[in-house]
Amino acid sequence: MLQYFFGLLYLFSVLLFVTLTGSQADECPLQLNPQRVVVKYGSSVSVNCSTSVQHKGMGWESSEGAVPMTKDSLTTWRVSELRVWGIEPSCYINYNKPQCAVNLLVTIYKTPDSVSISTVNHNGPMMERNQYELQCDVLNVAPVQYLTVNWYKGQTLVNQTIFTDTIKTPVNKTSKLLISPVRADDGAQYRCEAKLELGEEGPRPPPTNTSKTLNVEVYYKPKHSSSTETISKTKEESLNCTVKANPAPTYSWHSEHLKETISSSVIRSSTLSSGNYTCIATNSQGTDSKMFIIISTGRTTFWAIISCGVIVAVVLIIAYAIYKCNASPNSVI
Ligand SMILES: *[C@@H]1O[C@H](CO)[C@@H](O)[C@H](O)[C@H]1NC(C)=O
Ligand SMILES: *[C@@H]1O[C@H](CO)[C@@H](O)[C@H](O)[C@H]1NC(C)=O
Ligand SMILES: *[C@@H]1O[C@H](CO)[C@@H](O)[C@H](O)[C@H]1NC(C)=O
Ligand SMILES: *[C@@H]1O[C@H](CO)[C@@H](O)[C@H](O)[C@H]1NC(C)=O
Ligand SMILES: *[C@@H]1O[C@H](CO)[C@@H](O)[C@H](O)[C@H]1NC(C)=O
Ligand SMILES: *[C@@H]1O[C@H](CO)[C@@H](O)[C@H](O)[C@H]1NC(C)=O
């Protein structure tokens, strides 16, 4: 038992010794509050440096806002308009060991002067399935290490570029997006967004600047959802060849029953005789045809006559039965 007690005591003393001497050997007895600052270029900043040990003097070394040595236990680095990119202030202390110092981490940021979106080497409508390049230019932003460019199509994030350069001064950056538009993308709205994600000490929400929207126009050929449609002659229906396409298509109807070609997108069935009618929709991107089959009503009439006959027969039988029932008592009397 006693052995254990002394063993533990020894362990604790060793730990205590290591902690005390260790901390005094490797660590400077200074506390910075806060330890890291994120400052908007040109705005104010202040950081406290304090100690709890006896000392012969402490102060701030800095290209701006340096504080001369003081005997106090707290000294404040303060700049009212910080305009020195890459400033590296440090707080130092003289005590029983040689002088030691702690560096303050300063991040100075600047939101971009502009964020603009454009199409690379192209103007006007895009062709379906061709590849195009969109470009986002972010001017005069710092530090790019914290910059993210987000690409949006409508409300959807489609891609993201992050930058890894460690340069601290403002620079221009470009991000590119490759797109292969399809017909559904006609009218799509693209934009890019430059976001400075400066970490916990940074502003919330992160400073964000967005480009204008770029409207994409896509040219695509007409394409009917079905290539044939059957229409009954008795029904008052339309032969509707209307189809989506960009640019808007032109129409032409062909049939042995038509004396001349018709160029509207819809024709009424009532004026037509049964048979096949083909409509061709055409624009600069291509052509698509659709056949309408108007069926004769012959069979329908046949069955209508049969059912009419059956109904008439049934009615006659019932009428005869009623007549019989009513007539019988009379005949007895
Ligand atoms: C720095 O110290 C001063 C004086 O003690 C105090 O008023 C101030 O709030 C401190 N600032 C920070 C950032 O802790
Ligand atoms: C995003 O962009 C990168 C680089 O341009 C590219 O390699 C990647 O395929 C893109 N991702 C998507 C989903 O488009
Ligand atoms: C960024 O681009 C602008 C305009 O094109 C130019 O005036 C400026 O010098 C550029 N800045 C840098 C750091 O290259
Ligand atoms: C960029 O966004 C910040 C806020 O996030 C705003 O203060 C600044 O004016 C914007 N810059 C431009 C050029 O719109
Ligand atoms: C023809 O179809 C189009 C789309 O499919 C529709 O917008 C239009 O109203 C239709 N026209 C007629 C006369 O039914
Ligand atoms: C009409 O189209 C149908 C189906 O394609 C075909 O079987 C029929 O022979 C065509 N009729 C005429 C008169 O061309």
Homologous superfamily of 114-219 in CATH?
A: Immunoglobulins (2.60.40.10)
Q: Closest ligand 4 atom, CA of 111?
A: 1
Q: Please indicate whether residue 48, judged by its CB atom, sits closer than 6 Å to ligand 1.
A: yes
pLDDT, tens digit, 9 for 90 and up, residues 26-55: 589 999 999 999 999 999 999 999 999 999
- Compute the distance from residue 68 Cα to the ligand 1 centre, in Å: 18
Q: Please indicate whether residue 76, judged by its CB atom, sits closer than 6 Å to ligand 4.
A: no
Kindly list the averaged pLDDT for each block of 10 residues, start to end, along the chain of length 333: 52 45 64 96 97 94 96 97 96 88 97 98 95 98 97 98 96 98 97 97 96 97 94 83 97 91 88 90 97 77 60 73 66 44
Atom 4 of ligand 5 has which residue's CA nearest to it? 242
pLDDT, tens digit, 9 for 90 and up, residues 134-174: 999 999 999 999 999 999 999 999 999 999 999 999 999 99
pTM of this prediction exceeds 0.95: no
- Compute the distance from residue 148 Cα to the ligand 4 centre, in Å: 15
Q: Which CATH architecture has domain 21-109?
A: Sandwich (2.60)
Q: Please indicate whether residue 35, judged by its CB atom, sits closer than 6 Å to ligand 1.
A: no
Residue 278 bridge partners (DSSP): 254, 291
Q: Please indicate whether residue 295, judged by its CB atom, sits closer than 6 Å to ligand 3.
A: no
Give the closest ligand to the alpha carbon of residue 198: 4
| Torsion sign (Cα): 277, 278, 283, 288 | positive
Give the closest ligand to the alpha carbon of residue 291: 6
CATH number of 228-297: 2.60.40.10
CATH 2.60.40.10 occupies which residues in the chain?
21-109, 114-219, 228-297
Q: Please indicate whether residue 276, judged by its CB atom, sits closer than 6 Å to ligand 6.
A: yes
Give the closest ligand to the alpha carbon of residue 47: 1
Q: Please indicate whether residue 211, judged by its CB atom, sits closer than 6 Å to ligand 4.
A: no
Residue 161 bridge partners (DSSP): 149
> Of how many residues is the chain composed?
333
